[in-house]
Chains A and B, each alone.
Chain A
Amino acid sequence: MREQKNIFSNIDWITVGIYLALVTIGWLNIYASVYSEDHNNIFDFSQIFGKQMIWIACAIVISLIILSIDIKFFPAFANYIYAFVMLLLIAVLLLGNVTAGSKSWFLIGSFKLQPAEFAKLATTLALAKYLSTIDIKIQDIKTKMISFLILGFPAGLILLQNDTGSALVYISFVFLLYREGLSGNVLIIGLVAIVLFLLTLLIDKFIIIGVLAGIALILFFYIRKRRKEIITLIGIFLLTAGSVYMVDYVYNNVLEPHQRNRIAVLIGKETDLKGVAYNVNQSKIAIGSGGFFGKGFLQGTQTKFDFVPARSTDFIYCTVGEEWGFAGSAVVIALYVMLFLRIIKLAERQRSVFSRIYGYGVASILFFHFMINIAMTIGLAPVIGIPLPFISYGGSSLWAFTILLFIFVKQDACRLQLL
């Protein structure tokens, strides 16, 4: 073991470089998204780009603090951090401020603190801590149960806050669990479930059940000699048919109208472009109007004018698409994918199991945000309000993602100190 010289020695500059690039892109596009000739001073702190600059400066300070904290701090305090953030989640439910139907904010002065942003971080820490315990095997029922409890508790609380988007993020831990040995069927079952879900909404449920029955009959013909597999087959058939029914029921009776509408828009059922489909279409127009090289910095017309909603937060990618065109949009996607692959590569080189699992958690969470947010803006997913990591406007989310990433950067920088 060697002594660390300063906080920057051994840190992975590729990761940090991509991080800084994304943060800068975010800031420039937030400026562009609200730019007008009246408010053209990029350092105007009354405007959101000015505020974002303060958030960025704070984020950099935070990252420096994290880099100087002792490497053993986070594994050691993971459970306390988790407990503390869960308390915050409960508190916000009871005492928080309501915005746009979600009760998820604490208003501290003019700053809105959203505990849900920090819950992802706390959950990753707690899960990494639990799964890195010696002698734990993910195949054990008990391990699975406890892992799901660690995930399910914050997800449930966030659902109670009526913030479906943030709750969905917890699905991303499937990647982490899969890497640690959970059966590969999780991914397949997930995929089949999504396909069945969409099919059920598009096609009459009786047709799907009929087709399923047909497939089951054909399979039955092939395996009729093997009793055990027949039972499995019947089981699977009943399960899928049942879930088709369930989906239909949930869609029509459980989902709120606005949620139903968002899904309907996505699958093309709802074509009222002025009403429900408005957001997604305006977003597509803005991106589509960018062409190959875009309209140029500050030259966008679609995003600035009222067309695109939430243009500096959830729909910030529209501004990128409009002003920087295909070239710029593709670069942003490439940066993200490079970041994910880099984190995975770093995670695999960790000696400490905690660090590896934590690294996968970071990659999973960032990837899930990236996937849902961009898919939404380009019309491939329903409108789910979650931010684009490092780019979207907002202090809470920027800080939470920064802490999330830099804990891993620190773990990686000191990987040789740990076993």
Chain B
Amino acid sequence: MKTLYSERRYVISIIMIAIGVIFVVRLFYLQIIDDSYKASADRNVLRVLPQYPARGLIYDRNGKILVHNEATYDLMVVPKEVKNIDTASLCHIIGINNETYNSRLEKARNYSNYAPSIFEREIPQELYGFLQEKLSNFPGFYILARTLRKYPYNIAAHTLGYIGEVNQDVLDNDSYYKPGDYIGVSGIEKSYEKELRGKKGVKIMMVDVFNREKGSFRNGLYDTVSVVGQDLTTTLDADLQAYGEELMKNKRGSIVAIEPRTGEILALVSSPSYDPNLLAGHDRSKNYFKLLKDIKQKPLFNRALMATYPPGSTFKIMNALIGQQLGVLYPSTRFPCSLGFHMGIVDVKCHSHPSPCNLEESIQNSCNSYYCYAFKAIIEKLGAKNTKTSFNVWRDIVMSFGFGKKFHNDLPNELAGNIPTADYYDKIHGTNVWRALTIISLGIGQGEITVTPLQLANFTAVIANRGYYYIPHIVKGIGTSKFIDKKYTTKQIVKIDSGYFDAVLEGMRLVIDAGTGAGGKIEKIKMGGKTGTAQNPHGEPHSIFILIAPLDNPKIVLSVIVENGGWGADWAVPIASLMVEKYLNGVVKRVDMEKKMTEGSVYYP
């Protein structure tokens, strides 16, 4: 039927035909002319091989390698490509039975028929060569090289952490990881995962039906290069760390050593510990569950960061500082002690010592009565009934030392400890009915207050620095740069003026020279320390000691806690003292003391 403009149908038809022809020509080019896209006659398949970069190495502060990599080989399988293979022979080579073979293949198939899965992990070096030769008999199987973490010194297991296979949770939330990938699970491996892992790459290989790799697909056009992980320089001193672990053998507890000038952690010992290599090799998961099941020793538990204790007498220093800051206590202030503090129904015992003490002597003798009076003065400063306001002032100053909160530093899983709040006392005693005497045990570091060994070491650093600290951290350099997060180089100033530290430092010197810490004296090194005992309902009290050395130019501060170690002087004092000798002198001359500590063990109920 002819209508107006009817001839235009031809223009439109020609355009449509032209587009069709252009498409066919283009397809002809893509599918026939251009070889690079075409599968060859024997039906090559492409195999996407993830390229795992070497994970960054971890060094100690002096350049000693704490963690390095060792090559390992995983046998991979692509279920779709597995055809007519000699199952028995493969099972024989890798030492599994037929059932295991079938169940593994089934598992791989459930994940994906086309994507590779790990069939056998970490094939030993000697088997690798043999298997590689035989591989052409087993289409669908191939070997993927990766690296295994190795720990040459067997130290700092908790701090370094370990790597493990990613779990479903990570897979769901981070598309970087694919099933079978490894990720830092704890310690530095976790907190610096992004720096250490580098960047995965991808290599696309063509593989023929005989399972032979026929070269890179399109000359690597679609490959991505992997980027090697960055090395980390930790603040740890490997020798000191190893020595600390040696001293803590057969005891429970921790040693935290910090360089007060920088906040760098020199040693972080948690005992009992484990050989970090156990969680890196072939039997990782078996070993892990073995460690996990040891509920008596709890070797996986990092006491240095996660155990909380009442600080005991070491906390008297805190109250001495706060008292001075608030103007209720002076170095010359004396309080009486008649074998304790007796007031109303309150009865706090003390041991026999010359009395009344001034501030320095009170630290030297660790007088309980003195600090009950001092704490009472602090809490009653604004009137005997205005407890809450004064308590909040006290708490605010305590918190400024890093107590009662997390540092949020580069060590995962730290705990915050506990500095009780006024609300808490309102709740248990009733609003505004609690008074200084109600909470008097805070004066001597007992009661609801708990701290971690790391916080206690940091507290010691503040005293050594006379009023400030740097957030304790474990890494001082990433890659080739010395740059670390600015928060670790920012001075944290506490709410005590520096002048008030003189008297307590003098008191701490007396502790070493003629007090409860006299057993830790080292020739030619002037030190200051404070013992403590944390009451423990289960058996002997925990032995606590904090130490600054040298006192005039502090290079190291320590907190040592030996659980159920009795009085500070029994275990914590000699261990801290030996650590200082090791760090400052390099060699330990007090071999008898060393022997007694390393060989001694503490009884645990």
B114 and A304 within 8 A (CB):
yes
Interface residues of A: mostly helix, strand, loop or mixed?
helix
B31 and A281 within 8 A (CB):
no
Cβ of A112 within 8 Å of any chain B Cβ, yes or no, is no
Some 16 contacts from A to B, beta carbons below 8 A apart, are A37-B109, A175-B12, A175-B15, A284-B37, A295-B39, A302-B46, A304-B114, A305-B114, A321-B31, A325-B31, A329-B31, A333-B27, A336-B20, A348-B6, A367-B19, A380-B26
Among all A-B residue pairs, the 5 with the closest Cβ atoms: A288-B37, A337-B20, A326-B31, A305-B114, A288-B30
A348 and B38 within 8 A (CB):
no
What B residues does A147 contact at CB under 8 A?
none
B residues adjacent to A (C-beta < 8 A):
1, 3-6, 8-9, 11-13, 15-17, 19-20, 22-24, 26-28, 30-32, 34, 36-39, 43, 45-46, 48, 80, 109-110, 113-115, 221-222, 224
Q: How far is the CA of A330 from the CA of B16 in the complex (A)?
A: 15
What A residues does B16 contact at CB under 8 A?
337, 340-341, 363, 367
Within 8 A of B (CB), among A284-334: 284-285, 287-292, 295, 301-302, 304-306, 321, 325-326, 329-330, 333-334
Q: Which of A274, A291, A341 contacts B31 (CB 8 A)?
A: A291
Q: Mark A254-297, 1 if CB is under 8 A from B, else 0.
A: 00000000000000000001100000010011011111100100
Beyond A38-B113, A288-B36, A291-B32, whether A333 also contacts B24 by CB under 8 A is yes
Which of A176-184, A200-208, A227-235, A389-397 lies at the interface with chain B? A176-184
A residues adjacent to B (C-beta < 8 A):
36-38, 175, 178-181, 184, 187, 273-274, 281, 284-285, 287-292, 295, 301-302, 304-306, 321, 325-326, 329-330, 333-334, 336-337, 340-341, 344, 347-351, 356, 360, 363, 367, 371, 374-375, 378, 380
Beyond A179-B8, A350-B1, A367-B16, whether A288 also contacts B31 by CB under 8 A is yes
Q: How far is the CA of A301 from the CA of B217 in the complex (A)?
A: 14
Q: How far is the CA of A145 from the CA of B24 in the complex (A)?
A: 38
A321 and B12 within 8 A (CB):
no
Give B17 Cβ to nearest chain A Cβ, in Å: 6
What A residues does B113 contact at CB under 8 A?
36-38
Beyond A38-B109, A179-B12, A341-B17, whether A378 also contacts B39 by CB under 8 A is no
Give B8 Cβ to nearest chain A Cβ, in Å: 5
What A residues does B114 contact at CB under 8 A?
36, 301, 304-305
Beyond A301-B45, A375-B23, whether A326 also contacts B28 by CB under 8 A is yes
Q: How far is the CA of A308 from the CA of B9 in the complex (A)?
A: 38
B13 and A344 within 8 A (CB):
yes
Q: How far is the CA of A288 from the CA of B221 in the complex (A)?
A: 15
Beyond A291-B32, A292-B31, whether A273 also contacts B222 by CB under 8 A is yes
Interface residues of B: mostly helix, strand, loop or mixed?
helix
Q: How far is the CA of A329 from the CA of B30 in the complex (A)?
A: 11
Give A75 Cβ to nearest chain B Cβ, in Å: 18
Q: How far is the CA of A7 from the CA of B46 in the complex (A)?
A: 52
Given A281-B222, A302-B46, A349-B1, 16 further pairs, Cβ under 8 A: A178-B8, A179-B5, A287-B27, A289-B38, A292-B31, A305-B114, A306-B115, A326-B31, A333-B27, A337-B16, A344-B9, A348-B9, A351-B1, A363-B16, A378-B26, A380-B22
B27 and A326 within 8 A (CB):
yes
A292 and B32 within 8 A (CB):
yes
What A residues does B1 contact at CB under 8 A?
348-351
Q: How far is the CA of A292 from the CA of B8 in the complex (A)?
A: 36
Give A275 Cβ to nearest chain B Cβ, in Å: 10
What B residues does A325 contact at CB under 8 A?
31
Q: How far is the CA of A284 from the CA of B24 in the complex (A)?
A: 14
Q: How far is the CA of A187 from the CA of B15 in the complex (A)?
A: 10
Beyond A288-B37, A289-B39, A341-B16, whether A38 also contacts B9 by CB under 8 A is no
What B residues does A340 contact at CB under 8 A?
13, 16
Q: How far is the CA of A212 from the CA of B241 in the complex (A)?
A: 77
Q: How far is the CA of A350 from the CA of B3 in the complex (A)?
A: 10
What B residues does A179 contact at CB under 8 A?
5, 8-9, 12
Q: How far is the CA of A326 from the CA of B38 in the complex (A)?
A: 11
What A residues does B109 contact at CB under 8 A?
37-38
Q: How far is the CA of A288 from the CA of B34 in the complex (A)?
A: 8
Q: How far is the CA of A363 from the CA of B12 in the complex (A)?
A: 10
What B residues does A349 contact at CB under 8 A?
1
A181 and B5 within 8 A (CB):
yes
Beyond A274-B222, A333-B20, whether A284 also contacts B115 by CB under 8 A is no
Give A274 Cβ to nearest chain B Cβ, in Å: 5
A284 and B110 within 8 A (CB):
no
Give A283 Cβ to nearest chain B Cβ, in Å: 10
What A residues does B4 contact at CB under 8 A?
181
What A residues does B224 contact at CB under 8 A?
274
Beyond A305-B114, A333-B20, whether A378 also contacts B30 by CB under 8 A is yes
